[in-house]
Amino acid sequence: MASLSMLYASNYISPLQMPLATELAEILGHNAFRFAVTQELSPERKRIGWGQVDYEQPWVLPVHASPERRYEFERWLYEADVAVIGDRDIDMLRTRVETGRLTFHMSERWWKPPLGRLRLLHPHFARMTMQFRSLAKAPNMHYLPMGHYAASDMAFLRVLEGKMWRWGYFVNAGPGPSHDRPQRPARILWMGRMLPWKRVDTLLRAAARLKREGVPFELHVCGDGPMRGKLTRQATRSRLTDVVSLEPFLLAAQAREAMRNSDIYVCPSNGGEGWGAVISEAMSDGCVVVASREAGAAQVLIQDGMNGFLFPTGDDCRLAKVLAEVITKPDLGRRVSAAARKTMLEEWAPVVGARRLVGLCEGLLHSETIPRFENGPCSPIAGRSSMN
């Protein structure tokens, strides 16, 4: 058991945070760890299953629940040896910086498209950014970027050189792909909210190319959202209704089961995808993941051609070529699938992330040799030039 106390603060409690929090609580001890939840879940978050998380754990601290809980949170904010803060809350970060205690800000990318850095033209965002930049100069402030472009965006501020450590969401691995799959065409899967920046239209155009080329496949598109009607019409116009099925939104357990029964998972999102936990989940469940380079997790988790594949956002021609290669070369698919699962089990498992974070904190706190990891969570991120 480590000899430090840690506050891990996030705006929401979610299935994406709990696996890591559970491991941190086990390593640090329940009396030395608090997972603070600063906001109540919205109805939309509850609808997709985020409410099915255990608030009764002794280390879960719902800040919004009562004044007593707020007071407990403030005490931990002042006194914890380490704070990992996911909220973009300047007052919270300032409090920690002024204590002189080790503090990590954790976030997905700040400059998401389509606005990107044009957000700085808004007075509120510009003021917040300048305040954060000032706080980030403090020696006790470090950064955990969740995704390649989160690190790139933060490098723009030129204040966290040598204090950025690779990070992301952590998911529990399932039993792996099903080994008793019936004889059928290759099964391709996409799941999520049907939003413009998810770029499901790219996947449908790639599917049309595969069909014209005679490549056997079936594509399952599961979800709901404002783009559903448009995607349905696209599938009909492209004469894909015999190979593409548009299905309802799947809750967490159903989604993981669908991944285990699929061969390929495609994440065609653009840079609006801050992380993309479906990439982590699909790799853990043994899918061959084909992801857009702009999706936040893609360049962090995937070595192109080794444990997955990357393609330029919106390039349906390249996507179709990759899919055709995986479908027509079963040995390639099996090799990549095994490598993907190995990456998630050995580098990106929640217990690995928790141990590495605690080890990093101990090194920083006690001026010991900081553990150096070549890849995966808590590996150091170099300067601005390497982000481009």
Task: Render pLDDT for 344-373 as a digit per residue (tens, 0 to 9).
Answer: 999 999 999 999 999 999 999 987 788 899
Are 41 and 151 within one domain? yes
Cα–Cα distance measured from residue 161 to residue 21, given in angstroms and rounded to the nearest whole number: 27
Kindly state whether residue 354 falls inside one of the protein's structural domains. Answer: yes
Kindly state whether residue 1 falls inside one of the protein's structural domains. Answer: no
Exposed/middle/buried for residue 224 (C-beta within 10 Å: 0-12, 13-18, 19+) = middle
CATH of residue 63? 3.40.50
Cα–Cα distance measured from residue 126 to residue 118, given in angstroms and rounded to the nearest whole number: 10
Kindly state whether residue 199 falls inside one of the protein's structural domains. Answer: yes
Tell me the residue type at 55: Y
Task: Render pLDDT for 17-59 as a digit per residue (tens, 0 to 9).
Answer: 899 999 999 999 999 999 999 877 666 666 656 555 566 789 9
Are 117 and 158 within one domain? yes
Task: Identify the DSSP state of 246.
Answer: E
Are 19 and 146 within one domain? yes
Are 364 and 337 within one domain? no
Kindly state whether residue 280 falls inside one of the protein's structural domains. Answer: yes
Cα–Cα distance measured from residue 309 to residue 264, given in angstroms and rounded to the nearest whole number: 11
Are 29 and 154 within one domain? yes
What residues pair up with 164 in beta bridges, in sequence order? 143
As averages over each run of 10 residues, the pLDDT of the chain (388 residues) reads 86 86 96 91 62 74 91 96 94 96 96 90 94 96 94 91 95 76 85 96 98 97 96 97 94 89 96 94 96 95 98 98 97 96 96 97 87 93 57
How open is the CA angle 96-167-193, to the nearest 5 degrees? Answer: 105
Tell me, what's the pLDDT at 50?
58
Are 207 and 196 within one domain? yes
Tell me, what's the pLDDT at 182?
62
Residue 247 CB partners (closer than 8 Å, separation 6+): 220, 221, 222, 223
Kindly state whether residue 38 falls inside one of the protein's structural domains. Answer: yes
Structural domain boundaries enclosing 364: 6-170+349-387
- Other CB atoms within 10 Å distance of the CB of residue 295: 31
Kindly state whether residue 176 falls inside one of the protein's structural domains. Answer: no
Tell me, what's the pLDDT at 12?
80
Domains identified in the chain, total number: 2
Are 233 and 338 within one domain? yes
Are 162 and 205 within one domain? no
Are 301 and 383 within one domain? no
CATH of residue 270? 3.40.50.2000
Are 316 and 200 within one domain? yes
Kindly state whether residue 178 falls inside one of the protein's structural domains. Answer: no
Assigned token pair, 224:
């709901």
Kindly state whether residue 62 falls inside one of the protein's structural domains. Answer: yes
Question: Which segments within the chain are labelled E, that is strand?
Answer: 6-10, 33-37, 60-62, 82-85, 102-107, 141-145, 186-193, 217-224, 244-247, 264-267, 288-292, 309-311
Are 201 and 336 within one domain? yes
Cα–Cα distance measured from residue 296 to residue 279, given in angstroms and rounded to the nearest whole number: 10
Name the pTM for this structure: 0.92
Are 16 and 164 within one domain? yes
Q: How far apart are the first and last CA of the chain?
A: 39
Cα–Cα distance measured from residue 342 to residue 176, given in angstroms and rounded to the nearest whole number: 11
Tell me, what's the pLDDT at 386?
42
